[in-house]
Amino acid sequence: MQWLMGKDCYDIEGRFIISIHDEVRYMVKHEDRYKAALALQTANLLVRAMFCSRLGMNGLPRDVAFFSSIDVDQVMRKEPDMECITPSNPQGLSHGYGIKPGEGLTIQDVLLATQQ
């Protein structure tokens, strides 16, 4: 990801934030969000391809080559469309703070968003 985010590749302004179990979080500028999603999908593809190659497997099935979805959001929550209503936040994020839902992007969504 560091190489993909660099000036020689996608030129994404952002940084690694945290990794929790199977989740990786990056903070990027709003206008770089789709490029960062593409970089995450590309990094996953490269890692999976390397492991398949090392195991002597000549093919990489598409259903494991890419993440099923990349969450693009401005806040940290379990799912990008959750309201996060709690006793201390009874109105939720959209009504209480004006935070819009995030997006869950498949590889097809990311490719469409980065074609512009």
Number of H-type helices and E-type strands within the chain: 5, 4
pLDDT computed for residue 2 by the predictor: 95
Q: What percent of the chain shows pLDDT beyond 70?
A: 99
Structure tokens of 86?
A: 């709690």
Per-residue pLDDT reduced to its tens digit, 23-80: 999 999 999 999 999 999 999 999 999 999 999 998 888 888 999 999 999 999 999 9
Q: Where are the domains of the chain?
A: 2-113
Long-range contacts of 40-46 (CB under 8 A, 24+ apart): 40/1, 40/67, 40/70, 41/66, 41/67, 41/70, 41/107, 41/110, 42/4, 43/1, 43/4
pTM: 0.90
Answer whether 83's CB lies under 8 Å from 93's CB: yes
For residue 116, pLDDT beyond 80: no
Phi-psi region of 11 (alpha: psi -120 to 50; beta: other; left: phi over 0): left
Structure tokens of 16?
A: 């690694």
Mean pLDDT of the chain, nearest integer: 94
Averaged over 87-99, what is the pLDDT?
Answer: 95
Q: Which residues fall within 8 angstroms of residue 13, CB to CB, at 6 or more apart? A: 28, 29, 32
H helices of the chain, in order, are 2-5, 33-54, 62-65, 92-97, 107-113
